Amino acid sequence: MAQYHSKPVNEQGLVDWSVEEDRVWRDLVKRQLSLVEKRACKEYLAGLRMLDLPLERAPQIVDINKVLASATGWQVEPVPALINFDRFFALLAEKKFPVATFLRSREEFDYLQEPDFFHEIFGHCAMLTNPEFAKFTQTYGQLGREASDKERVYLARLYWFTVEFGLVKEGDETKIYGGGILSSPGETLYALDDPAAKREVFDIHTVLRTPYRIDIMQPEYFVLDDIQQLYKLSQMDLMFHVKQAMKAGLLPPLFEPKEVTHA
């Protein structure tokens, strides 16, 4: 796996993307735009229009922040490739979405485990223009900031099955709002169409108890009735549900345990 480091952000808030990085962005966006047009939820597509991301070069955070500031008061915050949970929750609580300023290499064009600039910006920022989604994400940060380590592990599943891998009903159709899906061409198709994947009605108790793996296509997705449901979740006593889920324990995983190697 390539070793990634965030690129420096100068005093004007700009990243000096190289010609090759601009091309990587262009190729990623070109491929993904045609896929999400008919598969992403209307809130995501509206956000994408507001962001008006460049197609021929990697975007700049300052431009994204202007749009987010007027839509929901959110900001994108440049961070090193990896940050700890304390910092992650604290940033979300302050309506700052952490974004590492590196782009994947050509060798990992289709899939990489580390969230890169394309995943964060193309996958997540459009939904952050939506007030209900934005409120839910901030509440998640506030709860996580105060939670114990064990509670955080349970809370992380809520984030995983919503912000990262969430699906939502739209009339008779199912659409995508999760950034982990929308930044991955393979999973954009698989999540909606593959008969191998389960698509369950969103239930908070089940979600909090469902184990996941970060290195495979998800065997199971949870489908919201609508995006407003995220706002309703943010108004519930979510920590009560976390405690209930901790008492009940994890559900049996739908995947094989990950093989441990010592390579």
The footprint of Fe ion (CB under 5 A) covers 115, 179
**Closest distance of CB 119 from Fe ion, Å:** 6
* Nearest to Fe ion of 85, 244 (CB atom): 85
**Closest distance of CB 115 from Fe ion, Å:** 5
In order of 14, 15, 22, 99, the CA distances from 60 in angstroms are 6, 7, 11, 12
* Nearest to Fe ion of 144, 179 (CB atom): 179
**Closest distance of CB 96 from Fe ion, Å:** 14
Tell me how far apart the alpha carbons of residues 237 and 244 are, in angstroms, rounded to a whole number. Answer: 11
Q: Quote the tokens at residue 134.
A: 């934005």
- How deeply is 56 buried, as exposed, middle or buried, from its count of CB atoms within 10 A (0-12, 13-18, 19+)? exposed
**Closest distance of CB 134 from Fe ion, Å:** 15
What SS3 state is found at 222?
strand
Tell me how far apart the alpha carbons of residues 36 and 33 are, in angstroms, rounded to a whole number. Answer: 5
Contact yes or no for 76/61 (Cβ under 8 A): yes
* Nearest to Fe ion of 59, 179 (CB atom): 179
Tell me how far apart the alpha carbons of residues 13 and 78 are, in angstroms, rounded to a whole number. Answer: 9
* Nearest to Fe ion of 165, 202 (CB atom): 165
**Closest distance of CB 59 from Fe ion, Å:** 17
* Nearest to Fe ion of 166, 179 (CB atom): 179
Locate tokens 């965030």: which residue? 6
Q: Quote the tokens at residue 105.
A: 């290499």
